Structure 1
């Protein structure tokens, strides 16, 4: 398969009409698969009404088909086609955070959506991405777009079009290149069908932000304790992993250097993921910075890119410093621990 590429600007000019999007929109209507930028990561899009189209997502990614997908829309008016029984507080969240990195789990309506999208569930995750290119593409396609991250299943999510090309060239019809994404980690997934709204996946909208709008929000037990099956799209299997094994180190910079020294005495080539503040204090085969502790949003934005950079290095393992769980730190640590397969050194 020849994977086409369309280069558009970074989405900062809201008046842009994006004539380049007519062909990828047509491909989506024809049940082909097209990758496109959002404010979180690049998505791998297909017509959410078509079993044929959605199967192509799973085939391209190598993703297990019992893992549901998030449906992307460009207008709240489109909700009525796919969901029902929307609670009033969900509308408050839409008004506050849409377009943006928040996915709402709502009761599915009728049988228009592909059952493959929902993995047979009677609910579906819906969001409106905060990226003009994504919104324009969905509008032009004129169908809701099912879209997980546009990477090979299990690998770090793509924050640049080059990441998508590396993983999926020859496996999908096209890639809309809109430059680097902004938030860097996927959307927060909030279950709106539980008695108390429940975070199934931490992401770009924090628990504190949600509670400032609607009051009490709880966290899925699967995020807090091992042994509970996760219910969110993108949380059922190991994800975000580079080629070398990852270990998350709790205990401060001096302890991290002790662990580095131990592995290097064994002849291991150690890669280290750290922040700009700690770079001068750490010495290993390869040290790569991932934002700053004073602004965890910079860590979120660079995390997947840095994990992919380690694949270009001659290393045996990766040691990552840990991050505070405040705000977006919850999402950062969630993704790091998923990349590490929950391997922690304390």
Structure 2
């Protein structure tokens, strides 16, 4: 549905009734519920078939609103000032007596918080007046949605409405970080890079290690998976494979090719990643071969998503 004033009011009404609403953000489409309503938050887990131990991100319109629900240390406040609104999530300690549903944080004393940049979700937050819990609007572990039709394919019977709007220009989920004393844990890589965080804080950034219990979304080993198998760092292509290429140097004998960025831009590649994976998956390819992605800058986040997509390969 188009992002009209009437539809924002309708979406807010649905959220107040405990229903689910999907909307675009600068990262991917979100599946939103009233973060203060236990039943509404529980319906997110049910709709996505998401494990209850996997925490959610709450979305708020400003740092000032976030301060009603979480405590900021000096370094976290500095990070929020640098990267909000935008594709950056902070894991912070919940305030005592917070109205947030405990389901949002999966029983932890911390909660993941983001102030988004996309005009549609910002307008919805201003209309709704409460925090919105919103993971990606897809079945758990499957490809993230960057278009309304991706949401409808997985969740059309679960959502009261799907708001449309300008594209998800970043195309991958937000960076997630947590300040831990004299260092910062990078819980999920994204378009705000490790170097960006280090430049703002002057502190060492330590990546999350697979195998630890999830303290933020996107940490399960198998995630973002298409129905097709995914083969990484492909420099050749087999006859039964489609190719997800990057740049101008790739095997030219592939029967089906989609290019993340013909000019070799990591930003363009990130924006196109899930959309092109959806497209190739819909063609029924047995395997999607993926060209090597440079392991620096935004390439770290792209490779993170691809490695998790490949972790669920079928024999």
TM-score computed with the length of structure 1 as normaliser: 0.86
User: How far has the Cα of 1:61 moved from its partner?
Assistant: 0.9
Distance 1:237 1:46 in 2: 26
Supply the distance in 1 between the matched residues of 2:96 and 2:89 (Cα, whole angstroms). 20
Task: State the partner residue of 1:13.
Answer: none
Deviation at 1:97, TM superposition (A): 1.0
Which has the higher Rg, Structure 1 or Structure 2? 1
Gaps of 5+ in 1: 1-5, 9-16, 251-255
After superposition, residues 32-71 of structure 1 pair within 5 angstroms as 32-71=19-58
Aligned to 2:88: 102
Counterpart among 296, 301, 308 of residue 338 in structure 1: 308
Name the Cα RMSD after superposition. Answer: 1.8
Q: How many residues align?
A: 312
| Alignment of structure 1 residues 200-279 onto 2, 5 Å | 200-222=187-209, 226-249=210-233, 256-257=235-236, 260=237, 263-264=238-239, 269-278=240-249
The equivalent residue for 1:153 is 140
CA displacement, residues 125-176 of structure 1 (integer Å, 9 cap, x when unaligned)? 1000011111110111111000000111121111111111111111111111
Q: Is the 8 A contact 1:246 1:318 kept in 2?
A: yes
TM-score between both structures, scaled by the size of structure 2: 0.94
Q: Given that residues 182 and 204 in structure 2 are in contact (C-alpha distance below 8 angstroms), is that contact kept between their aligned partners in structure 1?
A: no
How does 1:275-314 map onto structure 2 within 5 Å?
A: 275-278=246-249, 281-292=251-262, 294-314=264-284
State the shift of 1:199 in Å.
0.6
Which of 212-221 and 99-108 deviates more? Answer: 212-221
Question: Secondary structure of 1:197's partner?
Answer: strand
Structure 2: stretches of 5+ with no match in the other structure? none
Q: Deviations over 1:21-76 (max 9, x none)?
A: 11001111221110011111111110111110001111111111110000000021
Q: Which residue matches 1:7? A: 2
How far apart, CA to CA, are the structure 2 residues paired with 1:314 and 1:197? 41
Alignment match, 2:173: 186
Q: Counterpart in 2 of 1:253?
A: none
The answer as to whether partners of 1:241 and 1:340 remain within 8 angstroms in 2 is yes
Aligned residue for 1:199, secondary structure, equals: strand
For residues 182 and 202 of structure 2, the distance between their equivalents in structure 1, rounded to whole angstroms, comes to: 13
8 Å CA contact 1:161, 1:178 repeated in 2: no
Counterpart contact for 2:9–2:127, Cα < 8 Å = yes
Measured at CA, do residues 194 and 150 of structure 1 come closer, stay the same or move farther in structure 2, by a change above 3 Å?
A: farther
Deviation at 1:204, TM superposition (A): 1.8
Q: Answer whether contact 2:246 2:293 (CA < 8 A) is retained.
A: no
Question: Structure 1 residues 199, 228: CA separation in 2 closer, same or farther (over 3 Å shift)?
Answer: same
Alpha-carbon distance in 2 for matches of 1:275, 1:202: 20
Indicate which of 280, 287, 310 corresponds to 1:317: 287
Deviation at 1:308, TM superposition (A): 0.6
Q: Deviations over 1:273-313 (max 9, x none)?
A: 1024135x422231111114631000000000111111221
Shift of the alpha carbon at 1:200? 0.5
Sort the Cα spacing of 1:342 and 1:322 in 2 relative to 1 into closer, same or farther, 3 A: farther
Report the Cα offset of residue 105 of structure 1: 0.5
